Amino acid sequence: SLPVGSVCVPTLATTDSKNIFQYTSDKSISSPSMNSQVLHSSLPSSKTMHGFFSAFCTEENIEQSISYLDRELTTLGFPSIYAESKGKELNLISIINCMNELLVLQHKNLRAQEEVEMQHLKLGSDMDHLQNCYAKLKEQLELSKREIVGLQERDRQLQNKNRNLHQLLKNEKDEVQKLQNIISSRATQYNHDMKRKEREYNKLKERLHQLVMNKKDKKIAMEVLNYVGRADGKRGAWRTDKTEARNEEEMYKVLLSDYEQRQKQLLVENAELKKVLQQMKKEIISLLPPQKQKLKERSEDGPVLSDLEEDIGELNKENMWELSCETVREQLTNSIRKQWRMLKNHVEKLDNQVSRVHSGALNEKDVISREDHEMETEKLELEIQQCKEMIKTQQQLLQQQLMCPCDDDTTVLLQDCYLLEERERLQEEWRLFREQRKNFEKERRSFTEAAIRLGLERKAFEEDRGTWLKQQFLSISTDYKRSENVTTPSAFLGSSDQDSRLLKSTSQQRKPRCMLGGPVSAEPCQISQYIAHNSSSAALRKPVGDSKPNQWVESDKETE
Amino acid sequence: MNFSELFKLSGPLGRFSPDGRCLASCMQYRLVVRDAGSLQILHLYTCLDQIQYIEWSSDSLFILCAMYKRGIVQVWSLEQPDWHCKIDEGSAGLVASCWSPDGRHILNTTEFHLRITVWSLCTKSVSYIKYPKACQQGIAFTKDGRYMAVAERRDCKDFISIFVCSDWQLLRHFDTETQDLFGIEWAPNGCVLAAWDTCLEYKILLYSLDGRLLSTYRAYEWSLGIKSVAWSPSSQFLAIGSYDEKVRILNHVTWKKITEFEHPATVANPKTIVYKEVEKSPSVETERLSFPPTRALANSLFSTQSKYAISEVPLSLHYVKPAADRANPKMGIGMLAFSPDNCFLATKNDNIPNAVWIWDIQKLKLFVVLEQLCAIQCFQWDPRQPRLAVCTGNSNVYLWSPAGCVSVQVPVEGDFPIVSLSWHSSGDSMVLLSKDNFCVCYLEREEVK
Average pLDDT for B273-281: 82
Per-residue confidence (pLDDT) for residue A63, from 0 to 100: 83
Chain B contact present for A168, CB below 8 A: no
Nearest CA in chain B to A263: B253
- The answer to whether residue A36 scores a pLDDT higher than 70 is no
- The answer to whether residue A339 scores a pLDDT higher than 60 is yes
Per-residue confidence (pLDDT) for residue A91, from 0 to 100: 78
Q: Give the pLDDT band of residue A303 (cuts 50, 70, 90).
A: very low
Q: Which tens digit of pLDDT belongs to each residue from B375-406? A: 999 999 999 999 999 999 888 899 999 988 88
Q: What is the pTM of this model?
A: 0.60
Q: Give the pLDDT band of residue B151 (cuts 50, 70, 90).
A: very high
Q: How far is A380 from chain B (nearest CA, A)?
A: 44
Q: Rounded distance, CA B197 to CA B180, Å?
A: 6
Return the top range by mean pLDDT from A53-62, A472-481, B8-17, B344-353: B344-353
Q: Which tens digit of pLDDT belongs to each residue from A107-145? A: 999 999 999 999 999 999 999 999 999 999 999 999 999
DSSP-based three-state secondary structure for B109: strand
Percent of chain A at pLDDT exceeding 70:
62
Taking CB atoms and an 8 Å limit, are B146 and A250 in contact across chains? yes
Task: Decide which of B182 and A505 is more confident.
Answer: B182
Nearest CA in chain A to B106: A222
Q: How far is A184 from chain B (nearest CA, A)?
A: 8
Torsion over CA: A212, A214, A218, A221 (sign): positive
Average pLDDT for B272-293: 64
Name the pairing type of β-strands B365-371 and B378-381: unpaired
> Measured between CB atoms, which of B58, B83, B104 is closest to A225?
B83
Taking CB atoms and an 8 Å limit, are A224 and B122 in contact across chains? no
Per-residue confidence (pLDDT) for residue A143, from 0 to 100: 97
DSSP per-residue codes, A260-303: HHHHHHHHHHHHHHHHHHHHHHHHHHHHS-HHHHHHHHHHHS-H
Collect all residues of chain B within an 8 Å Cβ-Cβ radius of residue A225. 82-85
* Other Cβ atoms closer than 10 A to B114: 22
Chain B contact present for A179, CB below 8 A: no
Return the top range by mean pLDDT from A308-317, A410-419, A470-479: A470-479
Average pLDDT for B111-119: 89
Taking CB atoms and an 8 Å limit, are A225 and B85 in contact across chains? yes
Taking CB atoms and an 8 Å limit, are A228 and B123 in contact across chains? no
Nearest CA in chain A to B163: A247
Average pLDDT for A78-88: 72
Q: How far is B308 from chain A (nearest CA, A)?
A: 41
Per-residue confidence (pLDDT) for residue A45, from 0 to 100: 53
Flag the least confident range among A399-403, A471-475, B216-220.
A399-403
Average pLDDT for B82-100: 89
Chain B contact present for A226, CB below 8 A: yes
- The answer to whether residue A147 scores a pLDDT higher than 70 is yes
Average pLDDT for B291-298: 47
Taking CB atoms and an 8 Å limit, are B171 and A247 in contact across chains? yes
Cα B405 from chain centroid (whole Å): 22
Decide: A266 and A258 in contact? Cβ < 8 Å: no
Collect all residues of chain A within an 8 Å Cβ-Cβ radius of residue B166. 247
- The answer to whether residue A165 scores a pLDDT higher than 90 is yes
Collect all residues of chain B within an 8 Å Cβ-Cβ radius of residue A224. 75, 84-86, 121
Flag the least confident range among A194-198, A255-259, A324-328.
A324-328
Q: Give the pLDDT band of residue A54 (cuts 50, 70, 90).
A: low
Flag the least confident range among B218-222, B314-318, B361-365.
B314-318
Which whole-number Å values give the CA distances from B209 to A255, B175, B213, in the listed order?
Answer: 7, 14, 10
Percent of chain B at pLDDT exceeding 90:
53
Q: Give the pLDDT band of residue B446 (cuts 50, 70, 90).
A: low
Decide: B17 and B423 in contact? Cβ < 8 Å: no
Average pLDDT for B28-34: 91
Taking CB atoms and an 8 Å limit, are B88 and A247 in contact across chains? no
Q: Give the pLDDT band of residue B155 (cuts 50, 70, 90).
A: confident
Q: Which residues, 6+ apart, have CB-to-CB distance to A199 below 8 Å?
A: B156
Using the 8-state DSSP alphabet, how is residue B112 labeled?
G
> Measured between CB atoms, which of A208, A221, A229 is closest to B112?
A208
Best of B106, B164, B223 to disrupt the A interface (most A CBs within 10 Å) is B164
Per-residue confidence (pLDDT) for residue A139, from 0 to 100: 97
Per-residue confidence (pLDDT) for residue B361, from 0 to 100: 92
Nearest CA in chain B to A242: B169
Taking CB atoms and an 8 Å limit, are B90 and A219 in contact across chains? yes
Per-residue confidence (pLDDT) for residue B292, from 0 to 100: 59
- The answer to whether residue A554 scores a pLDDT higher than 80 is no
Q: How far is B276 from chain A (nearest CA, A)?
A: 41
Q: Which tens digit of pLDDT belongs to each residue from A214-232? A: 766 666 778 887 777 776 6
Q: Rounded distance, CA A339 to CA A346, Å?
A: 10
Q: Give the pLDDT band of residue A73 (cuts 50, 70, 90).
A: confident
Task: Decide which of B152 and B297 is more confident.
Answer: B152
Best of A220, A244, A252, A256 to disrupt the B interface (most B CBs within 10 Å) is A220
Cα B46 from chain centroid (whole Å): 28
Task: Decide which of A81 and A3 is more confident.
Answer: A81
Percent of chain B at pLDDT exceeding 70:
93
> Measured between CB atoms, which of A215, A220, A250 is closest to B89?
A220
Q: Which bin fits B90, alpha (ψ -120 to 50), beta or left (φ > 0)?
A: left
Q: Give the pLDDT band of residue B222 (cuts 50, 70, 90).
A: confident
> Measured between CB atoms, which of B103, B114, B169 is closest to A239?
B169
Which whole-number Å values give the CA distances from A385 to A376, A378, A380, A388, B232, in the listed order?
Answer: 14, 10, 8, 5, 59
- The answer to whether residue A236 scores a pLDDT higher than 50 is yes
Name the pairing type of β-strands B273-279 and B306-311: antiparallel
- The answer to whether residue B70 scores a pLDDT higher than 70 is yes
Nearest CA in chain A to B77: A228
Q: How far is B207 from chain A (nearest CA, A)?
A: 12
Best of B120, B148, B201, B234 to disrupt the A interface (most A CBs within 10 Å) is B120
Q: How far is B75 from chain A (nearest CA, A)?
A: 9
Taking CB atoms and an 8 Å limit, are B179 and A191 in contact across chains? yes
According to DSSP, the residues that pair with B196 across neighbouring strands are B183, B204
Taking CB atoms and an 8 Å limit, are B156 and A195 in contact across chains? yes
Nearest CA in chain B to A194: B156
Task: Decide which of B294 and B393 is more confident.
Answer: B393
- The answer to whether residue A497 scores a pLDDT higher than 90 is no
Per-chain mean pLDDT for chain B: 87
Taking CB atoms and an 8 Å limit, are B85 and A222 in contact across chains? yes
Q: Is the peptide bond before A549 cis (omega within 30 degrees of 0)?
A: no
Q: How far is A344 from chain B (nearest CA, A)?
A: 28
Task: Decide which of A369 and B25 is more confident.
Answer: B25
Chain B contact present for A116, CB below 8 A: no
Cβ pairs A/B, distance under 8 A: 114
Task: Decide which of A516 and A339 is more confident.
Answer: A339
Chain B contact present for A212, CB below 8 A: yes
Nearest CA in chain B to A221: B88
Q: Rounded distance, CA A64 to CA A81, Å?
A: 13
Average pLDDT for A296-306: 46
* Other Cβ atoms closer than 10 A to B219: 17
> Measured between CB atoms, which of A205, A231, A243 is closest to B104?
A231
Residue A218 sits at φ, ψ, to 5 deg, of: -65, -20
Average pLDDT for A148-174: 96
Collect all residues of chain A within an 8 Å Cβ-Cβ radius of residue B253. 266
Q: Which tens digit of pLDDT belongs to each residue from A366-424? A: 555 677 888 888 999 999 999 999 999 998 888 888 776 555 666 667 666 777 888 88
Per-residue confidence (pLDDT) for residue A480, from 0 to 100: 65
Directed axis angle between helix A547-559 and helix A408-481, to 10°? 70
Nearest CA in chain A to B85: A224
Flag the least confident range among A50-54, A556-560, B434-438.
A556-560
Q: Rounded distance, CA B189 to CA B209, Å?
A: 10
Q: Give the pLDDT band of residue A312 (cuts 50, 70, 90).
A: low
Taking CB atoms and an 8 Å limit, are B146 and A219 in contact across chains? no
Average pLDDT for B423-449: 83
Taking CB atoms and an 8 Å limit, are A255 and B112 in contact across chains? no
Collect all residues of chain A within an 8 Å Cβ-Cβ radius of residue B126. 222
Q: How far is B59 from chain A (nearest CA, A)?
A: 8
Q: Give the pLDDT band of residue B24 (cuts 50, 70, 90).
A: very high
Average pLDDT for B207-235: 91
According to DSSP, the residues that pair with B128 across neighbouring strands are B117
Collect all residues of chain A within an 8 Å Cβ-Cβ radius of residue B88. 219-223
CB contacts under 8 A, A 251-310 vs B, are 251-252, 254-255, 258, 266
- The answer to whether residue B139 scores a pLDDT higher than 70 is yes
> Measured between CB atoms, which of B59, B92, B200 is closest to A231?
B59
- The answer to whether residue B288 scores a pLDDT higher than 60 is no
